[in-house]
Amino acid sequence: MEHITDKFNVEALVYKYRYPLGAGFLLLLLALPYLGLSQYVMRIIIMIGIYTMLALGLNILTGYTGLVSLGHSGFFAIGAYVTAILMLKLQFNFITSVLAAILITGICGFLLGLPTLRLTGTYLSIVTLGFAEIVKMIIMNWEPVTNGTLGLRNIPRPTFLGFSLTLANNGMYYLMLLLLLIITAFCITIQKSKLGRALHAIKENELAASMMGIYTARYKILAFILSAVITGLAGGYYATLVSYIDHNSFTFDVSVLILSIVILGGMGTIRGMYFGAVILIVFPEIARPLMEWRFVVYGLVLIFMMRFRPQGILGWRSALPFQIPAEKEAGQKRSGKHGISRG
């Protein structure tokens, strides 16, 4: 019981000062480009940002709803390709292209979500995997539009009011930060809303959830759409960041990496997505000699986490009293809550 009480105190402390802490963290992120970091480090930080967005997207499905998707590289690819094609071929600006990309990935998410009406568990995972492979197949073979295996080159950077965002003027970094904040705020809103509670209920016990009057099919499809939309947004940003995309940028490895981040950090948490992305993106950069081994390490991460800490590194069950949303005062009672907390 000792350590549980300890952690409860730390968590309570963090919770008490969550606004100053959050503001400090945000200030640090805002000031990051002025700390004299090299271009290389900034690029890694931006990659961390992209993968945090992707993980937050997958988290809605895997973390909140309990549906394991192995096809998020497919949504990522659709987002990137739609943005790139609209910007290159139709000279749309970044915002319009990304909005179109979001719309199209949302539709794809809806279509891919339909089988969830009938499928559970592994079957669903394999359908998503098949979806990603089919997307890749289309990219490789639909040459007039996607330029086949050669990929799309010279994707322009986003411009706002005639001001071009680049890596050098830190515009891309701040754009990443803006998107990340929007997505994080979105995820927090979901978590605290009726939608989030419904998804959580589906994850815990689908039958019981439907008994409680939750339209499980509707919510599962909605989770698919939201997850796809976030992933598509990250894809659109990624296309303009790297300015060259081809089918090899969106392999099964990407899907597994996103899933590893979600699982390592802690399914269903937002802090875990940041943490997982930092660890798994920084790790191969620091461990250059271990470069070859990194994919093996991703595999080991999955296995060891499942065996020893399936809730993820930062994924503990909150020891804080649950706050009933409508009447917050009623939830302030602390008695008896320690007993059910898991360590």
Furthest-apart CA pair in the chain: how many Å? 66
Binding flag, residue 77, other proteins (CB under 8 A): no
Residue 113 C-beta: closest distance to other proteins, Å = 12
**From candidates 22, 24, 121, 325, binder to other proteins by CB under 8 A:** 121
**From candidates 139, 172, 222, 301, binder to other proteins by CB under 8 A:** 301
Nearer CB in complex with other proteins: 180/262: 262
Q: How far apart are CA 65 and CA 199, in angstroms?
A: 5
Q: How far apart are CA 199 and CA 309, in angstroms?
A: 22
Residue 313 C-beta: closest distance to other proteins, Å = 15
**Helices 121-141/72-89 angle, 10° precision:** 30
The C-alpha R_g of the chain, in whole angstroms, comes to 21
Q: How far apart are CA 205 and CA 315, in angstroms?
A: 19
DSSP code of residue 158: P
Which residues, 6 or more positions from 63, have their beta carbon under 8 angstroms from its beta carbon?
A: 262, 267, 268, 269
Nearer CB in complex with other proteins: 127/320: 127
How far does the chain reach from its first CA to its final CA, in angstroms? 9
Binding flag, residue 33, other proteins (CB under 8 A): no
Nearer CB in complex with other proteins: 88/302: 302
Q: Site map for other proteins, 162-201, x if CB under 8 A? A: ----------------------------------------
Residue 103 C-beta: closest distance to other proteins, Å = 23
Q: How far apart are CA 149 and CA 316, in angstroms?
A: 44
Binding flag, residue 302, other proteins (CB under 8 A): yes
**From candidates 57, 63, 66, 315, binder to other proteins by CB under 8 A:** 66
Alpha helix stretches (DSSP H) within the chain: 2-16, 18-31, 39-59, 72-89, 94-113, 121-141, 143-146, 171-192, 194-204, 206-211, 216-242, 252-265, 271-286, 294-308, 337-340
Binding flag, residue 288, other proteins (CB under 8 A): no
Which residues, 6 or more positions from 69, have their beta carbon under 8 angstroms from its beta carbon?
A: 58, 61, 62, 124, 125, 128, 227, 255, 259
**From candidates 12, 29, 99, 127, binder to other proteins by CB under 8 A:** 127
Binding flag, residue 130, other proteins (CB under 8 A): yes
Residue 293 C-beta: closest distance to other proteins, Å = 8
Stretch that binds other proteins, among 6-14, 64-72, 275-283, 315-323 (CB under 8 A): 64-72
Stretch that binds other proteins, among 185-193, 209-217, 220-228, 301-309 (CB under 8 A): 301-309
Nearer CB in complex with other proteins: 120/243: 120
Binding flag, residue 259, other proteins (CB under 8 A): yes
Residue type for position 183: I
Q: What tokens does 56 get?
A: 């937050």
Kindly list the residues in this chain that would bind other proteins in the complex (CB under 8 A).
66, 68, 70, 114-115, 118-123, 125-127, 129-131, 133-134, 137, 140-141, 252, 256, 259, 263, 292-293, 295-296, 298-303, 306-307, 310
